Structures are given as structure tokens and as C-alpha cells.
Structure 1
């Protein structure tokens, strides 16, 4: 601690924050921080024995108290008994840039007063409460009106106040917590602009928003320059790279960069700061300014650059480091990069403790510290003599190793092409596209023609680079999916990585210093080869560390290997169905349906379309599957082709390998359905038609018996069918001694047909040659063996058609006698699902009911023949 006090303090401060996050106890507060601070001062004066460890512990305690106090003060000034109240009157000021995207306007505003008609507790009239606003536009003219709103404008409106949505699936995105970390606890929603008033600030008004209002306008002018210089398919990318405006990046383009681990190119970071400072200092020196003057000028302009580029945690980190470095250069003082980084990090954490939980902050600082500490060591290990090539390899390799755990923790994917892509493409973007684009953007203010020429060169370069990114990101074979690792796994990864690098260093050193011969009980250990330090490192510790590191990676990739339980997870995808089944004992993965986003757009509503519209498969289902380590789907079962069942499967097929695609043998004449089946064929997925009488033996303990749709003669090809509900796939699953019935969206008429069909079947009667030859090995006809199985009670019934009154008749429940029922329906859906009569019918039969609209995701686990249930929202 005495030798590296800044390092010790920063490490202890970070540990203290982590303790407060993991154990948010009420006594971890400001009093603890003050007490620890006073004891620290006393320890500095008295210096008792063990003072280094004592002072370190006190720093941890003080930091924990600071975080605990900050978190405790993060509370709303508005207290309601319900989660939603309408007719709330709000007066306040817009405090963030206004985003207009299709028919949605979003921004944050700080209240000057809040009036709530129902019973509520308002501290200080709600003044100072910051809220997230979402306004749905009703006419195209309103879109132009909203585009004129700015930060600092006063706003007054009547709307609906509601709590932000919380995560409804295990491991899902928690919007409520996301806003809470921004000190926002409520959302205000409204329809149209007719009932609200937005007015510019009066002359003479001022506040922190005033400077930011001017910066927003300057940023918009820069964005306009980028739009003029680059084609539409590149302007969004260049805005993100140059000024931090990432909202307009094309989703497909961002996805390609993400698949290769190249999204850091788009984010404003230390490279942008370095280019800005290099250009600024070069320009100031050309004007003949002295060293002291241009250093101070660059120092003064850095906060402006941070603000203009969006002030994300990564740019704040880089900007602070640059400011500290500039000041140190001016005073000829501190020049240690490690110290500069840690001082900037602690400063940010003191300013906003929630930075610790920000992925941008975590990745930015870990990679920066890794490069500072690891690149010199990696240079010694690489057998490359060319200095620049060696440095480039070291930087890329260290950055990849350091960022890997956090990348899979937050994004659950890693491309085997990532190293090559970063090594080859990052220099092209950083050495030419970024500085050239910056120069063209600024040159456009004084010489439009020259800026156009330079922009054309950059655009042509981008075309080539984008083509390379597109081709490199296509192969599925190089994409790996990783389940979300635990914090313990991440710590073990970094520990073993450091151990391996440290043990490799002695073998890379060119000129080792001669150390005193080690002794053990008076015997020189160099006379005992099995105790020689270098021998131990080479033949014991290093191999053990390498094996441990490889074993850790193997476990992290497949932590569920050999798990003695099966899972059936009814995902909450809104108004739709999606069920993830992981079987026991084979560990097969089956996905039943994929939810979907139903659009009610009319002709002429193109202006309402958003740049990146919400789609269940891409935004919710695929991320959930990746978080749970679904690296391949063995069987994907589409019960029928309604949008709320098939919509999310397009994204699934595009991002996760699927072996077999089972469907009802029909085709709904919709472009989205045709695209879905075409994608399956292009990906090499086997298409299998199923009908009553087919059996799929998944593994030794799991079988699927298909009970519906009923066969209609010989299978002569796929038939077109508009109304899909009556043709839903119904199947009975037997897994490890339990029985599950999945019903799609069949109605009572289909329920009767199914019951009549199976009551009429006698042993020995089969369905004959039903399947296409390519699928017979996967799914076999087994009607005779199913007859005795059908008329046994089931453990779990997936209620048909989201609990609609058109399904789940009395005779249906009498036939199956389920113990548990699960209803998949959207919260506050417009259809009124589940129907009250259906719920009463289930209750009258003594059936326990779980509902995704009320309970969120429903997870059922099979262990030792018993079913254990947990739900996300109702423990």
C-alpha cells in the first residue's frame, strides 16, 4: 500500500462498492462511511501493527457506505398504491434530447409540479421528480411539431403515470431497474400533441440545461453534415463513430458488427479522444502557441468534446484520463498510465456510484487496465521481431482476453473470427475512416467541395470494409453461444489468466537476473529438481494452470452437462406462445412456437414505422435463449402459423442452429410465413410434417406423441390453409415419468374431434406410411402403443388459445384430468384472455393455474419424477 497507494485505494474502493451491491444491508450507509473515514485518519496517525490491512479494510467499508447511502437516497418523490394512474397533470422541463422515431416521441423531463387525482403521497408537490416520457403521435403533422422540441423547453400535459415494466422472464431485460439506475421511477404516457403544451424557455432563464441545449444544436449541425457527406446506409454508422449518435445505425449493420465483436468501433472511446487531441494540438502548434498554452487549451476544450460526443461512460473515462494526462504533462508530474486510469475511474465512481454497474464503464476500464498492464508482458511472449506488428498483435490479443468474460456475460456470443476481424479491420477504421470522417465533417463548415471529395473517399472505403464485415459475419460455424456465466466463474477466469501469464514470463525473458539459490531446511533446492522453482513452474504449476483455464472455459460453455433434471419453461412473450423444453436425461432442446409481434398498421401509415421496431424474436426470445446457453435447437415445433406463434421464429432460425422444424403440414399464404420456411431450407433445417399418430422418441426418457391434426388421406404435399387454429399441432409429452399436454390454439370443436378420434382407435390400427422418407427415422408412426397412454391423467396442461372461451371445454378437462394448467397470455391484452369462465372451469376441477400475464415466466422442473414450479413475478 505504501508503494502503490493509488492502486490499493482504487482496488479497495471498487471492492467496497461491490460489497454494497451484493449485500444491500440497511447499516451500510453514510454513517458507516464516516466512521470508517475517521478510523482511517486515526490509523494514519497512530500506525498500529497491521496498519496496511486495517487501512485497506477501512477504505472498503467507507466505499460500501458511500454506495449504500447513494442507493438509499435513490427514491421517488411520488408514492402510489397502484402501478398506474390516469389523468395525471405534469408541469416541468425537458432535460434530455428529444427522440422522434416513427409515431413515438421519447425524452426525460423534470417536474416542477405533479397533480394526481387519486390518493397519493407527493413530497414537495413532486418537484424535482425526473420521469421518462413516451408520447404516441396520431398524425404525421404532429411528427414535425415534435421535431422542434428541445432540451430546456417547458412542457405541460395530462397523461398516464405508470411504473416502468420489470423483467417478466428469468434473466430478461429489466427496464424498471435500468431507469432506476438513472434515478427515474415513473413513466408518463400520452396520445397525440393536442393535449400538451411545449414552450421555449423565456429570455433570462438559465440552468444546467442551457449549455446542453446549445451543445445539442451544435451536435445536430454536425449530424446534418454527416448526412450530406455520406450515403443513407453509412450516415448512421458514421454518426455513431464520430459524434456518438447511435440511434440511427441500421439494425442489420449493427448486428453484423456485433457478431464479429466489432461494436467498439462504433462507440466513442479513447481512440476518438486521441485523434481529437492530436489534431487539436497540431493545429494549436501551427498557430505558434507555447507548450503550456496549447496543453491548457486542450485541457479546457476536453469537457466540451465529451459533451458533444454524448458523455457515455467510455468517453468520460477517456476524456478524464486525457485531462489528467494533460495536466500532468503541464506540471511535469504524474505520467504513470495505470495511475491516471485508476484516478479517472475512482473519480467517476465517486461522482456516480452506479457507473460500476454500467457495461460500457466495465468494458472500457477493464480493457484499458488490461492494455496498460498486459501489452508489455504479451510483447515478451510473442516471437515476433517486427515491433509494430508485435504491438498490434499484443493489443488485439490482450483486448480479446480481457473483454471475453464480460462480452459473454452481457451478449452471450463470441465469434471465432473476432481476433482476425479486430486485427485486420480496427486499424483501417481507426487510421483512416475515423480521422478522415472527422476531418470531412469539420471541413464541411468552411469548404463544402473539399469535404465532399474527402467524404467520397471515406464512403468508398466503407463500402469495401462493410462488404468484408458482411461476408465474415455470415458463417454460423464461427459463432459460439455462451450461457451467462456467474461472477465466481468470471473471477476464476481472470485469476487463472493472470496465473498463466505470470508463469509464462520467466520462459520469455531474454536476460534473467541471477537470483540467490533457494534453501529448504538448509538444503539448496536446486540440488532437488522436484523442488526447483523453475522446474515446478514449468512442469507443475504452468500445466496445471493451463489445464484449469481450459477446463474453466469448457465448463463455462456447457455448465448444464449431466444435469439430472428436465425443464419446461413457459416464456412470457406477451400475447403469444413460446415454450422451451430441455429434456431429461438426454438434454435435448425443444422450442414450441416463438411468439410474435402483431401489427395493426393500415395503408398510409408508413410514417409510423420505427427505425428499429420492436420484434419479439430479435429483442426478447433470442437473447433469452442465448442467456440460457441454447447453442442448438434439436426440434422446433410450430403448432400453427398465426403471427403470435411464428413471428419470433424468424430471428431464432437466423441466430441459432435448428436441426428439425416440425409443423402441421399446411402453409398460410403470408410473405412472413414463406420467408420463415425459406430461411429454414437455406439453413439446412429439416422440415417435417406431423399429424395424429406420429411419435418422436427424443431420448431414452422423453417421447412426443402427436394427437392432432387428424390425417386427411395420404400426404401428398403441403396444402394452403388460411385459418390455422383448427389445424394446430397437439402433442403429449412423456418425460421422466411425467405427462404434459400441449394444445396450440385448438377450439372446442377440435377438442371433441381429438377425443372422438382417439376413443375410436383400437390397438393394432395404425396410420400407415405417413411421413416423408427423409423424416421417418426422426418421427415414426406409433398409434397402437399410444392408445393405452392417452387415457391417463396428465400432470400439466398447456391451456389452448391463451385461455379463450372457445377452448378448454368441460369434457376436455374430464378426459385429461390435469393437475396443473398454464395459460400463456399477454398482460392487459385487448382480447380479454384468459376468459373468466375458463378460469372458473379450471378452478372447479381443482387444477392449479399459472398465467404468464399475471405470473410472468412459468418454469417447471422435473426431478425424480416430481414437478417443481417457480414463477418470475409471484414466488
Structure 2
């Protein structure tokens, strides 16, 4: 702490924030920080024994109190509406204020943030539903800094409805926004004249300048590369192709698509090179570069990573100007400390975390790794060490937030980043500048850059399709991340000790005294290295194994009813098993009429890509062994397209029919392309997932010609219905079956109990055996009461009849249904029938995700949301 006070202070300050964020300590406040600071100063200057340790602890307390006070004051001033909003009541609200963000117009939606003019000075996220193409054109004229009057419905932002899901309410809160205002129609937005000069006015000019640059990029680059170049050069990601972003993400190349320290370095290198060629003096070009950095930060979007890189560059340039260059570690941590004091919530921003961790890792790690690499070329040695250190440092953060890592990431970064940094970025910038002077000249340079980009895109596309190189990791805990970094640190330290010992042995002859001293100094580290290095390597490997398969020895069975809105999706994990069964995948139903093309959004919400796949990855589901498609309606299969594209699937089990339409066609074609085995399921079939989990298929009934694929537009009555036995518990999964199908299943049990035989599901699909199995097994199982019934068709009145309930006698019912759905689900009559039988009722619209854990026949339940009426 004495030798590197800035480094120590920054790390201790960050530790204080982490403490305050994770531990609720009511006694922390700004006053506590103030008095603690005075005490720390007194202890330090009085030179008390142990002052370093005591002051370190006090700095942590000071930072924790500062964060706690900052967070405590981050609350809404419209508290009178909170109770009504929590009761999900619509709150009519009118507000006048200033638009404080760029207005994003995407299809039939315009969104922005308003700061109210009233005494509350509240920040409100506004979403305007546009009702016509004319209204869309009007919304395109709205800008940051406009004075507006709004009428709409005030509501709390949506909270996470699944365990580990994205929490929009927390996301907005960390931006100091506590409310959403939903406005229907552009006529509810009234613009007023404002002659006030504010910071938002300056930012509007910046928005206009960035828009001008974006148009310049669009003029010289082909349309299919405009979004990519906008993202890379000026940080505008609105036009980025979602599929292309996903491909870059899978290879660990998303940092290329975000303006960061690499862009700052290239910008400064090009700027200084030009000014030197123009024979500017050293002082002039350094001061010019410093003065242009704030402008560059603003133009490129001012993300935490670009702010960090820009401030570091300004400090380094000023130090060079004053001939007082300091080491990089002090600079980066000084910048980080300043940013955290200015905005404590930066600590929770992934770009801030990655930017600082990688930068600190490169500063500390590259020199020792360079000394260990057996490469003679300085250029290649630096390239390998920088890529290696960056990969190792960013790995825990990447799997923590994104839950995936490509085994090709090192090669992709090693070979492609230099191309983007030395060719695409400077070449693209040159094409943009030339395009403003003379468009044909800009297009010539852009054509060459676009050709190089196209070759890289082809390579990225091909590499992203190699599923065997993609690994999925569950979210690790903070303790694991600390142990990971500690293991790598110890490994590098031991390797350095071993190398230092070898250098001593191979060096020039030493005097007797020097030899004795060297032998005494090196004997202990070398002996420790012989034992310690293998232990550290084994520890690191063990840590990776634990992170990759944390629940390998879990004895519990799991059934998770995911909240996918108005749809079904259920994850089943049998006990003592690594197998995973996914039943349906939800889906977004879209109704579009001819002429509504203007409503199409650039990146529309899709349940599979935005919700289901991230949840599966976050839970470490690396492979789906059985994907059961109960039927092919959009609210059950829509999300499965993204699942099959991003997560390996072994077998897809469906009802033996095909529903004409692009959704089902694309899903089955993708499954065939991915070599997923398609298996038809009929009543009487059985799937034994493991010794404690058996699935008995009860519907649909096989028809004549069951081997042929049959077209069926109406899918509800064809739902795959199965009863599952797991560790002494019984479950019934019903898809969207109607009461007629329920009656048919009950009749089948009665009339065909001892007559019909159907091939064994397991044998037919997965082995050469053809031993038949009768419906007697399923019927015998059906006579027993069941523990959990998945209510069919989201609680529609067309399903869950009295005879069905009386036959199964379930103890609990789960209804997968969307919040505020337009169908009126669940139907009051169905709820009445369940309540009459004194059943426990769980609903995803009220409870969010419902998780059930099974062990020795006992079921434990937890729900994501807790409601007063439950």
C-alpha cells in the first residue's frame, strides 16, 4: 500500500462496493464514510502500529458507505403510485418534460427517456405504440432535447420472471429510471417550443453528427455491411444483423463490434501519424490529441469501455507532454477509481468489468508470459502473449454473463483482430472521410474493405457452424472466479521461479559467496515449484471441471415450468442423470396483415433467442437429449428454432403430424440439417430416461398408416400427452389437448386395456429389439393418483373437464399462461373446478417460473415471484 497507494486504494474501493452490493448493512451511510475517513487519516498520520491493515479496512468501509448512500437515494419520487402499480392496476398519467436520450424508432414502436419538469424531476422510460406509417414518419422527427407533453399509462418496469432471467426493472434502476410510460398513438405526444440551452441540446448535436457519419458509411459501403461498419467505427449498433452478431459472439469476437480501447489506440495512432507527417511539433500534436479525445468519446457513444480507454489515453498523452510518463497500472486504476466515484453503478456494467479486467491483466500478465514463451520473434511473442492473457482474463467474465466459450476463440482473436485493427478500422475510416469529400473515391476504398470483410464473414459463418467447438457453461459464483484467477497467478509465479533457477544454473560462473547466496535463495522456491506447480495445474483443471459440470452428482430430479408468456416450456432433468428433456419452447404469435410491413422491427422479440436459450445456457444445459414437441402451434414451437440452432439436440419427439406453415417447416428442416433424429410418439409408447424416470405416452392414438407423415392444421387434439413417473412421484403433461381428447384417452383405457399392443417406444426408436408392450402398463399407472397436473391449453375452457380431474385426482396444478393475455386464460370455470377439488394452483402469470425438486417421492416447490394473493 505504501509503494502503490493508487493501486491499493482503487482495489479496496472496489471491494467496498462489492461488499455493499452483496451484503445489506443498514448502518452504512455517507456519515459513516465521513467519520471513517477522518479516523483513517488520523490513524495514518499518527503512525499507529498496524496502520496499513487498519486503513485498508477503513477504506473498504468508506467505499461501502458511499455506495450504500448512493444506492439508497436512487428511488422514485412518485411513490404514491407504487402500491397501485404493484397491484397491476393501470395508472393514467400525464407528464411534461425533456427528451434526454436519442429517440429510437423501430417499426411500430418509438422509445426514449423523458425527464419530467415537475418538482419530482423523475426519469421515465417512454414507449410509444405507433398506429400508422404516418405516425412513424412523425416519430422520426422527434429528437433529444425536445420539450414534450405525454399522456399514457404509468407502470413499473417488468421484473425477472424466471430464475436467472433478465431483470428489466433492475436494468433501468441502475440507470436511475423507475417507471415506464406506455403511450398509445403519436397524437398523445405533444411537442412544445423550448428555448432552453441544456446539456441535452449539446447531445442532440452529437446525435445529429453521428447520424451524419452513419449516412456517410451507408453511402460508400454496401447495404449488407453498413450495420457492421457503423458498429465498428462509431458504435451505432441499431442496424447490426442479429445473426451476424450471434456468430461473432460464438467466436468471442463481440469486442470487435463494440468501440473500445482498440479503437482509441487506432484513432490516436492514425491521428498522430498524420500530424507528424504534417510536421506538427511534439507539443502541438500531443495537445491536439488530448483535446480531440472527448470529442471522439462522445461520437463513439461514450460506453464505459470507451470512457476508460479515452481517459487513459488523455492521461498518458498529458504525461508524455510533461515528460512524466507513469506506469500503466497506476493510470488504469486511477481512471477506474474516478469513474466509480462519479458513477458507482459502473461496477455492475459488463463492459466496464471486461474493459478494466482485460486491461489490468494485459499490463500485469504480458511481461511475465512474454518471458516464458519460447518464441524468438518479438512481434509474434507479443501477439501470442496478448491474445493468451486476454483470453484467460476474460474467460470467467464471459461465461458469467454469456455462458458460452468457443474453443476457436484464441485462433479467431489471434488471426482476425489484427486484420480488423490494421485494415478494416483504418481503411473504413479512410473510406468514410474520402466519401464526404468525393463519394466515388470513398467507394473505391470501401469496396476493398468490403471484399476483405466478406472473406472474414464467410470464415466466421463457417466456424460458428462447427458445433463441437462451442461449449456452454453454467453461471459460476464469485468464489469460483477468485479461485480461477488465483490458480493462474500461482501457475505463472511457479513457472517464473523455475525459469529463474534454470537461468542461474546456465549463467556465468559465480563466486563462492554468490553461489552460496544464490543456492540459498533459489532452493526453497524451486522445491516449492516442483510440488506447487502440478498442484496448481490440477487445481485449475478441477475448477474448470466443476464449473462445466457443477451438478454432476446431484441426486434430485428437477421439473422447471418456464414463464415464456402465453405458451409452454418445461425443462425436466431426471435424478442421477445428465440427460435433459425439454417439452415445448414457447413462441411469439405475430399477426400481420398486408400493408403492415412498416411495423416490422429490426430485431423483434423472439422467445427462444431472447429468453429460453439464455436460460438454458445459464443453467449449464449443454445438450438436450429429448426435445418433446407436444404439437406444432406457434406458442409451443416458436422458441425451439433458436434452441435447435444453438444447443445440440439428440432426438426430437413429435406427434407424427405436420402443420403446414413456415414455422414448423423451418424447425423440422433445421433439425434434419443438424442430424437430429425425428421420432413419432403414440399412445402406449414408453421412454425410460433412467432407472427412476419413465414417460408413458397416452396420446395421440396411432392411426392407420402411422409410418407416414400426416398433414394436420388443427393441432390441439393431436397433442403428445404423457404421464411421467419420477422417484416415486407422478406427473401428467397435457399439451393443448381438449376435452374431447381427454374423453378419448379415458375411453381408450377402458376399452383397450387388454387388447391393443403397440411397439415399445424405447425399443422402436433406440434399439433393434421389437418386443411389444401393451397399454396395460400405462393404464395401470393411470389408475393411481398423480402429484402434479400441467393444465392443458393454458387453462382454456375447452380443456380440463370434470371427468379428467376425477380420474387423475391431482394434488397440484400448474398453469402456464401469459400475463395480461388477450384470451382470458385461465378460464374462471376451469379455476373453479380446480378449487372445488382443493388443489394447489400455481400460475406462471402470477408466480413466474415454477421450479419443483423431487427426492424420494417428495416434491419441493419454489416460485420466482411472490404474490400476496397466493
Whether TM-score is above 0.5 comes out as: yes
1:692 aligns to 2:683 (yes or no) = yes
Deviations 1:135-194 (Å, cap 9, x if unpaired)? 111111111211111110011121111100000000000000000000000011112212
Change over 3 Å in CA distance of 1:847–1:773 after alignment to 2: closer
Q: Distance in 2 between matches of 1:575 and 1:428?
A: 46
Q: Quote how far apart the aligned CAs of 1:276 are.
A: 1.6
Does the residue aligned with 1:684 lie in a helix, a strand or coil?
coil
Change over 3 Å in CA distance of 1:778–1:308 after alignment to 2: farther
Q: 1:181 maps to which residue?
A: 174
Q: How does 1:353-368 map to 2 (within 5 A)?
A: 353-368=344-359
Q: 2:758 maps to which residue?
A: 767
Contact 1:574 1:825 in 2 (8 A): yes
**Aligned residue pairs: how many?**
855
Contact 2:687 2:761 in 1 (8 A): no
Deviations 1:575-621 (Å, cap 9, x if unpaired)? 00000000012232000000000001111111110111110001100
Unpaired segments of 5 or more residues in structure 2? none
1:195 aligns to 2:200 (yes or no) = no
Contact 1:171 1:624 in 2 (8 A): yes
Which piece of structure 1 moves more, 767-776 or 646-655? 767-776
Q: 2:74 maps to which residue?
A: 74
Q: Quote how far apart the aligned CAs of 1:785 are.
A: 2.3
Specify which of 772, 775, 781 is matched with residue 783 of structure 1. 775
Q: Distance in 2 between matches of 1:737 and 1:516?
A: 78
Deviations 1:666-693 (Å, cap 9, x if unpaired)? 0001121011111111111111101101
Q: Distance in 2 between matches of 1:728 and 1:321?
A: 60
Specify which of 452, 464, 468 is matched with residue 473 of structure 1. 464
Change over 3 Å in CA distance of 1:278–1:596 after alignment to 2: same
Specify which of 821, 825, 830 is matched with residue 813 of structure 2. 821
Contact 2:225 2:450 in 1 (8 A): yes
Q: Quote how far apart the aligned CAs of 1:47 are.
A: 1.2
Q: Quote how far apart the aligned CAs of 1:767 are.
A: 2.4
Q: How does 1:247-258 map to 2 (within 5 A)?
A: 247-258=238-249
Q: 2:542 maps to which residue?
A: 551
Contact 1:763 1:785 in 2 (8 A): no
Q: 1:755 maps to which residue?
A: 746
Change over 3 Å in CA distance of 1:796–1:814 after alignment to 2: same
1:100 aligns to 2:105 (yes or no) = yes
Contact 2:723 2:731 in 1 (8 A): yes
* RMSD of aligned alpha carbons: 2.1
Contact 1:715 1:771 in 2 (8 A): no
Change over 3 Å in CA distance of 1:200–1:450 after alignment to 2: farther
Q: 2:38 maps to which residue?
A: 38
Q: 1:322 maps to which residue?
A: 313
Does the residue aligned with 1:707 lie in a helix, a strand or coil?
strand
Change over 3 Å in CA distance of 1:516–1:484 after alignment to 2: farther
Q: Distance in 2 between matches of 1:709 and 1:103?
A: 41
Change over 3 Å in CA distance of 1:562–1:296 after alignment to 2: same
Which piece of structure 1 moves more, 23-32 or 91-100? 23-32
Q: Distance in 2 between matches of 1:525 and 1:507?
A: 14
Runs of 4+, deviation exceeding 6 Å: 513-518, 523-528, 769-772
Contact 1:821 1:850 in 2 (8 A): yes
Q: Quote how far apart the aligned CAs of 1:773 are.
A: 5.2
Change over 3 Å in CA distance of 1:556–1:516 after alignment to 2: farther
Contact 2:756 2:774 in 1 (8 A): no
Q: Distance in 2 between matches of 1:462 and 1:524?
A: 58
Change over 3 Å in CA distance of 1:830–1:864 after alignment to 2: same
Q: Distance in 2 between matches of 1:782 and 1:634?
A: 25
Q: Quote how far apart the aligned CAs of 1:473 are.
A: 1.1
Deviations 1:712-731 (Å, cap 9, x if unpaired)? 23423110001000011110
1:866 aligns to 2:866 (yes or no) = no
Q: 1:614 maps to which residue?
A: 605
Contact 2:686 2:760 in 1 (8 A): no
Change over 3 Å in CA distance of 1:770–1:819 after alignment to 2: closer
Deviations 1:249-275 (Å, cap 9, x if unpaired)? 000110110110001011111111112
Contact 1:576 1:645 in 2 (8 A): yes
1:15 aligns to 2:15 (yes or no) = yes
Change over 3 Å in CA distance of 1:774–1:858 after alignment to 2: closer
Q: 1:574 maps to which residue?
A: 565
Q: How does 1:209-358 map to 2 (within 5 A)?
A: 209-358=200-349
Does the residue aligned with 2:57 lie in a helix, a strand or coil?
helix
Contact 1:161 1:188 in 2 (8 A): yes
Q: Quote how far apart the aligned CAs of 1:41 are.
A: 1.3
Does the residue aligned with 2:708 lie in a helix, a strand or coil?
coil
Contact 1:715 1:770 in 2 (8 A): no
Does the residue aligned with 2:301 lie in a helix, a strand or coil?
coil
Change over 3 Å in CA distance of 1:770–1:285 after alignment to 2: closer
Which piece of structure 1 moves more, 326-335 or 659-668? 326-335
Contact 2:220 2:439 in 1 (8 A): no
Change over 3 Å in CA distance of 1:642–1:407 after alignment to 2: same
Q: 1:452 maps to which residue?
A: 443
Q: 1:120 maps to which residue?
A: none
Q: How does 1:364-763 map to 2 (within 5 A)?
A: 364-509=355-500, 511-512=503-504, 532-763=523-754
Deviations 1:331-361 (Å, cap 9, x if unpaired)? 2224211101000100110110000000000
Q: 1:119 maps to which residue?
A: none
Change over 3 Å in CA distance of 1:262–1:808 after alignment to 2: same
Contact 1:7 1:342 in 2 (8 A): yes
Q: Distance in 2 between matches of 1:468 and 1:64?
A: 47
Q: Quote how far apart the aligned CAs of 1:286 are.
A: 4.1
Q: 2:124 maps to which residue?
A: 131
Q: Distance in 2 between matches of 1:570 and 1:268?
A: 39
1:794 aligns to 2:796 (yes or no) = no
Q: 1:804 maps to which residue?
A: 796
Does the residue aligned with 1:767 lie in a helix, a strand or coil?
strand
Q: Distance in 2 between matches of 1:778 and 1:819?
A: 37
1:157 aligns to 2:150 (yes or no) = yes
Unpaired segments of 5 or more residues in structure 1? 114-123
Contact 2:729 2:858 in 1 (8 A): yes
Contact 1:688 1:775 in 2 (8 A): no
Q: Distance in 2 between matches of 1:154 and 1:439?
A: 38
Q: Quote how far apart the aligned CAs of 1:446 are.
A: 2.3
Q: Distance in 2 between matches of 1:584 and 1:41?
A: 57
Contact 2:749 2:775 in 1 (8 A): no
Deviations 1:535-574 (Å, cap 9, x if unpaired)? 4333311000000000100010000001010100000000
Q: Distance in 2 between matches of 1:867 and 1:760?
A: 34
Deviations 1:61-111 (Å, cap 9, x if unpaired)? 111111111101101111112115343111001011111111111111101
Change over 3 Å in CA distance of 1:333–1:665 after alignment to 2: same
Contact 2:297 2:307 in 1 (8 A): yes
Q: 2:6 maps to which residue?
A: 6
Change over 3 Å in CA distance of 1:865–1:34 after alignment to 2: same
Change over 3 Å in CA distance of 1:524–1:157 after alignment to 2: closer
Q: Distance in 1 between matches of 2:398 and 2:628?
A: 31
TM-score (structure 1 length as normaliser): 0.95
Contact 1:746 1:807 in 2 (8 A): yes
Q: Distance in 2 between matches of 1:377 and 1:778?
A: 61
Does the residue aligned with 1:194 lie in a helix, a strand or coil?
helix
